[in-house]
Chain A
Amino acid sequence: MSHFLDRVETALRDPDLKTALGRATERLGSRRSVSLDSLPDSDAVRDMARRAKLGLLRDLAGNLETFEKNLIKNGVQVHWAEDGAAANRIMVDIAKSRGCKRAVKSKSMATEETHLNHDLLEAGLEVLETDLGEYIVQLAETTPSHIILPIIHMTKESIGKVMHEKIKVPYTSDPEKLAKIARAKLREAFLSADLGITGANFGVVDSGALVLVSNEGNARLVTTLPRVHVAVMGIEKLVPSLSDLDLMIKILARSATGQKITTYTSLVTGPRREGEADGCQEMHVILLDNGRSRILGGPLAEILGCIRCGACLNACPVYKNVGGHAYGDTYPGPIGSIVTPGLRGIKAWKELPDASSLCGACRDVCPVRLDIPRMLLELRKQAVDEASIPWALRIGLWGFGVAASRPWLYRAGAGLFRWASGLMAKSGWIRKLPGLAAGWTRSRDLKAPAPKSFQELWRQRPVRPAPAGKEAAPVR
């Protein structure tokens, strides 16, 4: 898919989107900073969390092995999926062999990534998203546009319209009424479902626990009511131990929603055991690679430390203007600009790393201090090395390199531009640039070069007497 600029144009023409995004991201951003300030030594906690995550990634294979062993010890059946298609196949096989007919889902971006719902429906299963935002997204037949606020792009009016049209309830735009209607629908589904599908925010290596944090509590129902529970998680979502989990929990909700802690934090340690009152009868974990091990071996490895809080989206001036759908895949915003080309290859996604002014706001807010701008720069280099880049741009920058590394040629080029811009400019301003540079004059004028460069003026400056007692006059 490579219509990033088309999607951007569409997004920028949508006034509702900008209003919705602006309000929500501003609210989240300010809550985040207040909430992080309430954490004693928040900087130290972030450093420790970063160390835990990146340290784990250094021996990901070993950690996965230990994690698998502990899962099995807890009575969980473990599956490995090399790509999305494999993960979906495993899921369908489990469902069919267990005679499951209705699935309920919660908290899973990994299955968004593998387009699981499509494959489940194709295999004849009913599947229902149970988190409110994802439920609306499913009704509207679209995709989430934010990591933690999937329908950040929708107004309450458009949500009311979707529910009215798709589930035939009377139209209302009252958020509380809408939530109530959805909740009633979802409750029915929980009780009749025989397959529960979740993702995992974290997997704790030393105990084999799956961690799900949420505000709606649906994840708890999805993991306990249906008789079979299958979790799909990226192989990078591990933390070494419960004390490391503590660090993550401290910074995740604060960075995401500005809460000190989310309403629900569930640790799932296997299916129902003898004598236990609730829990599923059977539990599976599908460990999804889907390109992650390729990222692990390269210069983008630290992106696998991302804990999916969405803070970088809320801070990003590009995201705030274009929203999540412009990024074209599961993961939007600055993080998506790295994860998507990382997982799927730079060739088809070379526009994403360019969708940043490299302002660094994302790096500032990242709870695990991922150097997002550095990785964007790395991907731009990969794009130049591996993808098809317009020849005019290639030649243009080659010319820049040749000229700017030879001062005499550079001066000649600058002189030529000074002359040419003299022809293009009116009272010192250029209103329309040709060729590749035309983008600049789309929304701003360009100040024409000065009649004389700084170096020329410098050379013409009268020699100043040296200050008394100081060395000779400034060297020209």
Chain B
Amino acid sequence: MPKPSKVQLFHTCIINEVYPEVGLAVVNVLERLDIAVEVPLNQTCCGQPAFNGGFHADARKVARLTVDILSATKGPIIIPSGSCGDMLTHQYHMLFADEPAYLEKSHALSERCHEFSMFLVDVLGIRDLGAHLRASGPGVAAPKSAYHPSCHLLRGLGAKSQPQTLLAQVKGLACAEVKDQEECCGFGGMFSVKNSAISGAMLENKMRNLEASGAETVISCDMGCLLHLAGGLHRKGSTLKVKHLAQVLDEGMSGR
């Protein structure tokens, strides 16, 4: 695909409500690449909470709105989340199995949907954005960061290397090795509420491994996982910070 001059942003509900700075970072990175960003207003949520809970009728209402709003736009749709990206590209087909009109629309839509890191690497063919993080002082070692591959991005969308490829090119950033890196953090949407004890145990394992890696920051492409991790880290008073990949790239590109 030739580089598009314009993309649509599906900003996800967690970014909209809790982490708006991540949305802005995504926009900044794309605009620095001379890509204009449009935000289809009136978008709400992809409907995943209801869908994963088994409430298909309720999820369908939300999904129809999302399909309608996004179908009315043109160009690639950028989704800064593996989870919502997987929902839009794969799960809508299951949801609309008995609704041919929307099934067809959602198939067309899934062709246009791209998770943020996959868009940069697979569509634009970018490996190095020239991002450079400045050391916090002279003689200070580069901060170590840990990458957390979110399950839906890794296994749902099959992004096995794209975020790591981009991170590896950020100068002034060292990547930490994390034990059981590909294991789920235990969020799983309503899973964290309905099965809070198991979810808590999974979170505990994940935090222990992240802290043992010596990283200062956990970087991921899903604010769902990061909301969950940040909540656990805050509860235990950890100094480990969480960041979306877009924030790291944005900071690096602005020379911060």
Q: Which residues on A are within 8 Å of B, measured CB to CB?
A: 5, 8-9, 12, 317-318, 321-322, 353-361, 363-364, 374, 377, 379-385, 393-394, 397-398, 400-407, 410, 414, 417-418, 429, 436-440, 442-450, 452-458, 461, 464, 466-467, 470-471, 473-476
With contacts A8-B198, A377-B54, A446-B231 taken as known, whether A405 is within 8 angstroms of B94 at the C-beta atoms is no
A-B residue pairs, 9 tightest by C-beta: A357-B188, A401-B58, A380-B54, A443-B200, A439-B196, A444-B231, A359-B184, A360-B155, A454-B20
How far does the Cβ of A315 sit from chain B's closest Cβ, in whole Å? 9
Asked whether B81 is an interface residue with its Cβ less than 8 Å from the other chain, the reply is no
Q: In chain B, what residue has the closest Cβ to A437? A: B193
Residue contact B49 to A359, C-beta cutoff 8 Å: no
| Interface set, chain B 48-75, CB cutoff 8 A to A | 49-62, 64-65
Residue contact A405 to B24, C-beta cutoff 8 Å: no
Instruction: Tell which of A364, A445, A470 touches B36, judged by Cβ atoms closer than 8 Å.
Output: A470
How far does the Cβ of A341 sit from chain B's closest Cβ, in whole Å? 12
Q: In chain A, what residue has the closest Cβ to B12? A: A454
Residue contact B198 to A355, C-beta cutoff 8 Å: yes
What 8 new A-B contacts, CB under 8 Å, besides A359-B155, A438-B193?
A: A317-B205, A360-B154, A382-B54, A385-B54, A439-B193, A439-B199, A443-B203, A450-B17
Give complex CA distance A454, B155 in Å. 28
Contacts of B132 in A (CB 8 A): none
Residue contact B52 to A444, C-beta cutoff 8 Å: no
Give complex CA distance A452, B21 in Å. 10
19 residue pairs of the A-B complex, CB under 8 angstroms, read: A5-B195, A8-B195, A12-B198, A321-B198, A354-B191, A354-B195, A355-B195, A360-B155, A364-B155, A374-B94, A377-B54, A381-B56, A402-B61, A405-B64, A442-B200, A444-B234, A447-B227, A455-B11, A457-B23
Majority SS at the chain A contact face? helix
Give complex CA distance A404, B60 in Å. 11
| Interface set, chain B 71-97, CB cutoff 8 A to A | 91, 94
Residue contact B192 to A358, C-beta cutoff 8 Å: no
Q: State which of B39-47, B110-118, B120-128, B169-177 sits at the interface with chain A.
A: B39-47
Residue contact B44 to A357, C-beta cutoff 8 Å: no
Contacts of A374 in B (CB 8 A): 94
Tell me the total A-B contact number using a CB cutoff of 8 A.
225
Asked whether B104 is an interface residue with its Cβ less than 8 Å from the other chain, the reply is no
Give complex CA distance A118, B41 in Å. 64
Instruction: Tell which of A358, A360, A363, A443 touches B232, judged by Cβ atoms closer than 8 Å.
Output: A443
How far does the Cβ of A451 sit from chain B's closest Cβ, in whole Å? 9
Q: In chain A, what residue has the closest Cβ to B42? A: A407
Residue contact B62 to A358, C-beta cutoff 8 Å: no
How far does the Cβ of B202 sit from chain A's closest Cβ, in whole Å? 5
Contacts of A417 in B (CB 8 A): 17
Give complex CA distance A161, B202 in Å. 31
Give complex CA distance A353, B194 in Å. 11
* Chain B 221-256 per-residue mask, 1 if CB under 8 angstroms from chain A, else 0: 000000110111011000000000000000000000
How far does the Cβ of B205 sit from chain A's closest Cβ, in whole Å? 8
Q: Interface extent on B, as a size class? A: 35 or more
With contacts A357-B199, A454-B15 taken as known, whether A404 is within 8 angstroms of B61 at the C-beta atoms is yes
How far does the Cβ of A413 sit from chain B's closest Cβ, in whole Å? 10
How far does the Cβ of A52 sit from chain B's closest Cβ, in whole Å? 25
Asked whether B165 is an interface residue with its Cβ less than 8 Å from the other chain, the reply is no
Q: Which residues on B are within 8 Å of A, measured CB to CB?
A: 5-6, 11, 13, 15-21, 23-24, 27, 31, 34, 36-39, 41-45, 47, 49-62, 64-65, 91, 94, 151-152, 154-156, 182-184, 186-188, 190-205, 227-228, 230-232, 234-235
Give complex CA distance A443, B186 in Å. 11
Q: In chain A, what residue has the closest Cβ to B183? A: A317
Give complex CA distance A356, B53 in Å. 11
Residue contact B152 to A440, C-beta cutoff 8 Å: no
Instruction: Tell which of A403, A442, A449, A470 touches B196, judged by Cβ atoms closer than 8 Å.
Output: A442
Instruction: Tell which of B18, B41, B197, B231 touches A9, judged by Cβ atoms closer than 8 Å.
Output: B197
Contacts of A353 in B (CB 8 A): 54
Residue contact B55 to A363, C-beta cutoff 8 Å: no
Contacts of A440 in B (CB 8 A): 192-193, 196, 231
Residue contact A447 to B231, C-beta cutoff 8 Å: yes
With contacts A317-B186, A321-B198, A444-B232 taken as known, whether A407 is within 8 angstroms of B50 at the C-beta atoms is no
With contacts A404-B62, A464-B31 taken as known, whether A442 is within 8 angstroms of B197 at the C-beta atoms is yes
How far does the Cβ of B129 sit from chain A's closest Cβ, in whole Å? 17
Instruction: Tell which of A8, A364, A384 touches B55, judged by Cβ atoms closer than 8 Å.
Output: A384
